Each structure stands twice: as structure tokens, then as C-alpha cells.
Structure 1
Amino acid sequence: MNAINWFELFVSDFERARRFYGQALATTLETVDSMGGRMAMFPCDPESGVGGCLSDSMEQQPGAGGTRVYLNVEGQLDAVLERVPAAGGEIVQSRMAIAPHGFIAVIKDSEGNVVGLHSMS
């Protein structure tokens, strides 16, 4: 069983946030309309049971100080960190070893959310 099965990053400018994560992670986030607003889905492996999205919700606001999620960027940590500033974000904590569990970094996205990145290499 995974400790996490779903996460939502709340955004104030949906398209800006979708572009940020698409550019920083070098991926495409599929947009889905939901009952609470729009969602941009992060790529996930259905067998893992873990997924997440950007959420354009009137009930929630983005920003630092809340829950921190760590996105799996396996083998791509340095490449993602290189793309973050050009995508409109900033690096809060550069690559740091957390032996024996690999490496992490922390970024601030285009919406002000503080998000962790994790890779074993």
C-alpha cells in the first residue's frame, strides 16, 4: 500500500500553473472538468494507485505553509531544477542527499505552492 494515493495542488491561475508543471517536468498534463472546477492531471502509473492534479477550486487557495507533497522525478532531479526558473518558479532548497533514501529538492511553483521533488539518483 502507498502512503499517498492522491494529491491536489491548488492554483489561482490554472493555465499558468499547467504551463509551469508541463515545462518544468517536461510532460503534458491532461485537463479534466470536475464538479469542483478544472483539474490538470499529473502523469501516473495506474497500477501504483497514486495520482494527483492541479486543482482550480474556489474553496481552496494556493500558497506556502500547508501540506508539502513530493513529486517523483526519478533520475531527472537536476534536469527539473534547471527548468524550474525558466518555467516561472524558484528553487527553495537545491539538491540535497537524504541517504539512504536518495535526494530531494524543494521548489516554489508559479502559484506560490512549495513542492518537494524526490529521486533515488
Structure 2
Amino acid sequence: MDRNMVGWFEIPVEDMERARKFYEEVFDISISVNDLGGIIMGWFPGAQDKSGSPGSLVKHEMYVPSDTAGPLLYFSCKDLAIELARVTPAGGSIIQQKKEIGGGHGFMALIKDTEGNRVALHSLS
């Protein structure tokens, strides 16, 4: 295969400013917010020549945040303990603390963002 299977992801939000602030604080990034004809999107920074997938926060009536339904998105981190320590101060909550996956696959943790979405963190250390 000459590409990654996931080409784009979208995270539903109810309050774009609150969600933007949460993800910027947890990952120490800047998110660009754009209005695309009534669909409000907060684009995560991306690099086309790197591994992984670009994505966006999305505010629209068709998008409903959930901490139990739908796919689970994993954010890659150098050491997820760094981002995990920022979750609660940024207004989110920790669902599952850092734990080893096993078999040399690294570590993961589950968090809930300020919009009520369940997302995961992953790192090799």
C-alpha cells in the first residue's frame, strides 16, 4: 500500500472555542478555525510528508460528540504522560490512566475532551 488507510478524521464539537482551547493546551499546538458555509472546522496542524492523518474539529448539527459511540481516535505522542498531565487542567477528564498495551506495542490512555468525546493517547514509552 502506498498510503495510510486513514486520510482524514473529524471530531464533533458543540463549542468550537472551548474545544480548540482544550486541544491546543493538551497538545501544545495551534488550531486554525474556518467557516465552510455553516460547517465550522478547527483544523489540526499537519505535515503531508509525515506519517499519520490530518484532521479537524467540526461544529455542525450533524456532528454529535460521544464518549461511548463510534470509532476511537488515537493521538500519537512521544510520551503520553506529558499530554495526559495537561488533560484535567485543560478541562477534560481521564477515563483510563496510562497503561502498557503489551507485546512491545507501547502504552495508551483514554481521555474525555471538553465536548464529551472519548479519545485515546498512544506512545511507545
Matches within 5 A, 1:58-77: 58-65=61-68, 66-73=70-77, 75-77=78-80
Quote the sequence identity (%). 41
- Relative to the length of structure 2, the TM-score reads 0.88
The answer to which of 60-69 and 43-52 deviates more is 43-52
Q: Per-residue displacement from partner, 1:27-75 (whole Å, max 9, x unpaired)?
A: 11111222451111112221236111100112111112222111112x1
Q: Could you tell me which residue of structure 2 aligns to residue 45 of structure 1?
A: 47
Aligned residues: 120
Matched, 1:83 2:86: yes
Distance 1:56 1:40 in 2: 9
Q: Write the mapping of 1:1-121 to structure 2, written as runs, cut at 5 A.
A: 1-47=3-49, 48=51, 50-65=53-68, 66-73=70-77, 75-99=78-102, 100-121=104-125
* SS of residue paired to 2:71: coil
Q: Who wins on radius of gyration, i.e. which is larger? A: 2
CA RMSD in angstroms, aligned pairs only: 1.4
Task: State the TM-score, normalizing by the size of structure 1.
Answer: 0.91
Structure 1 residue runs of 5 or longer lacking an equivalent are none
Partners of 1:72 and 1:3 in 2: CA distance: 16
Runs of 5+ unmatched residues, structure 2: none
Which of structure 1's runs of 4+ aligned residues deviate more than 4 A? none
- Measured in 1, the distance between the counterparts of 2:71 and 2:37 equals 23
